[in-house]
């Protein structure tokens, strides 16, 4: 969290803490996974509303942040294996790891698997990410909320298979298990798949649309909230739709029945391959996927679209792509954002558009993160 944002949230947290709340997790205060467990959940929503209204003052105002289940919601946890510990990094420090015994943010099934997995992981050499020596870097635990299927990806610093202490457990207890390679200096919990111990994917289901999720593919971390946001996006699209940063096709396929056609653009080739499988699984004919950088695609795109859907990374959209969007001139833009700061910067530059609606969801309770959805109409 950037310094300015952190300071703003700390100031607001003091205002909204009230009489406080009893943290649910014994690791709260040490573990960096949560910041707000000592604030009543209703106050967390008011805190986030105040933050957004300060940040977007003069652009748009917000009446509420739509709440979610405050615990047991996360689809994904990246568990660090380092310094003889297994858990998450300590609050405020990259250098230390909090040895976790529980995590109430996880779904119940995921947490149960996690508790059994930890002692097995500690039998495997961990990875010192400061000196860059060692073997097991991460266990990425993923669970599809509506199907309950569980995936574990073990991320190692070399391609050797030294995972015997956990292999039998993985094959028996989860629906998908893979070994991934991350052999560079960058701190990454993803990489090429070396080996699938079991299946190599799990499936999620939103309103009858089935999604295959592979080890490196992005999928929203809170399925109930994501589904609600997708339903809202579906209400706002029409005609020919361009979906940028389309991932495994989650939005593209969900909105297909409301559109004449949908073109999804995604740089990650594994995600595009999975998106095409998802299209076939669902028998959807009016969606196509392009494996290309969104900025390059926008620069070269000559077709016209009625609706542009975007769910960019935290960095937002590139300044040159704002120009490309203006030149393409879609009638409507539906902008889903995980970073209100970059959303603000983007909409201030899209001067040919006005905001028709703006909503916010608490995609990540107990944390400062907020997901927003804006509908922009060409003036």
Q: Which residues are catalytic?
A: 338, 371
Q: Is 257 helix (H, G, I), strand (E, B) or coil?
A: helix
Pairing of strands 176-181, 150-156: parallel
| Residue of 84, 120, 87 lying closest to 102 (CA atoms) | 87
Phi, psi of 223, deg, nearest 5: -65, -45
Residues in the chain: 379
Tokens found for residue 175:
């629906």
| Residue of 135, 140, 173, 172 lying closest to 154 (CA atoms) | 140
Q: What angle separates helix 319-328 from helix 340-349, to the nearest 10 degrees?
A: 50
Do 287 and 280 touch, CB atoms closer than 8 A? no
Helix H or strand E segment including 230: helix 223-236
Tokens found for residue 89:
């990094």
| Residue of 344, 341, 301 lying closest to 321 (CA atoms) | 301
Helix H or strand E segment including 376: strand 371-378
Buried b (16+ CB within 10 A) or exposed e, 284-293: beebebbbee
Alpha-carbon span 244 to 336, nearest angstrom = 11
Do 336 and 233 touch, CB atoms closer than 8 A? yes
Q: What is the DSSP letter of 24?
A: S
| Residue of 121, 44, 35, 129 lying closest to 86 (CA atoms) | 121
């Amino acid at each position: 969290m950037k310094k300015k944002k952190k300071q703003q949230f700390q100031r607001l947290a003091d205002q909204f803490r009230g009489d406080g709340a009893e943290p649910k997790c014994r690791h709260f205060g040490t573990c960096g996974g949560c910041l707000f467990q000592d604030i009543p959940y209703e106050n967390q929503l008011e805190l986030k509303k105040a933050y957004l209204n300060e940040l977007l003052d003069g652009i748009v105002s917000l009446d509420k942040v739509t709440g979610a289940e405050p615990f047991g919601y996360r689809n994904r946890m990246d568990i660090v294996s380092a310094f003889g510990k297994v858990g998450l990094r300590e609050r405020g420090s990259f250098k230390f790891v909090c040895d976790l015994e529980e995590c109430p943010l996880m779904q119940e099934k995921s947490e149960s698997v996690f508790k059994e997995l930890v002692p097995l992981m500690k039998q495997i050499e961990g990875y010192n990410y400061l000196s860059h020596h060692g073997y097991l870097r991460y266990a990425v635990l993923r669970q599809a909320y509506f199907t309950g299927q569980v995936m574990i990806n073990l991320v190692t610093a070399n391609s050797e298979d030294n995972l015997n202490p956990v292999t039998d457990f993985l094959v028996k207890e989860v629906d998908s298990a893979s070994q991934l390679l991350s052999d560079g200096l960058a701190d990454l919990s993803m990489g090429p798949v070396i080996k699938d111990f079991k299946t190599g994917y799990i499936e999620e289901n939103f309103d009858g649309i089935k999604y295959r999720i592979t080890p490196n593919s992005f999928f929203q971390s809170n399925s109930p909230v994501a589904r609600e946001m997708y339903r809202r996006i579906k209400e706002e699209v029409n005609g020919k739709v361009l979906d940028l940063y389309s991932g495994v096709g989650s939005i593209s396929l969900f909105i297909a029945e409301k559109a004449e056609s949908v073109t999804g653009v995604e740089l990650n080739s594994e995600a595009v391959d999975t998106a095409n499988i998802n299209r076939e699984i669902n028998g959807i004919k009016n969606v196509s996927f392009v494996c290309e950088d969104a900025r390059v695609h926008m620069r070269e795109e000559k077709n016209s679209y009625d609706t542009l859907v975007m769910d960019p990374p935290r960095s937002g959209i590139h300044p040159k792509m704002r120009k490309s969007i203006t030149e393409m001139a879609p009638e409507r833009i539906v902008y889903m954002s995980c970073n209100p700061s970059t959303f603000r910067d983007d909409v201030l530059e899209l001067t040919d558009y006005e905001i028709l609606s703006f909503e916010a969801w608490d995609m990540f309770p107990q944390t400062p993160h907020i997901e927003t959805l804006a509908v922009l109409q060409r003036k």
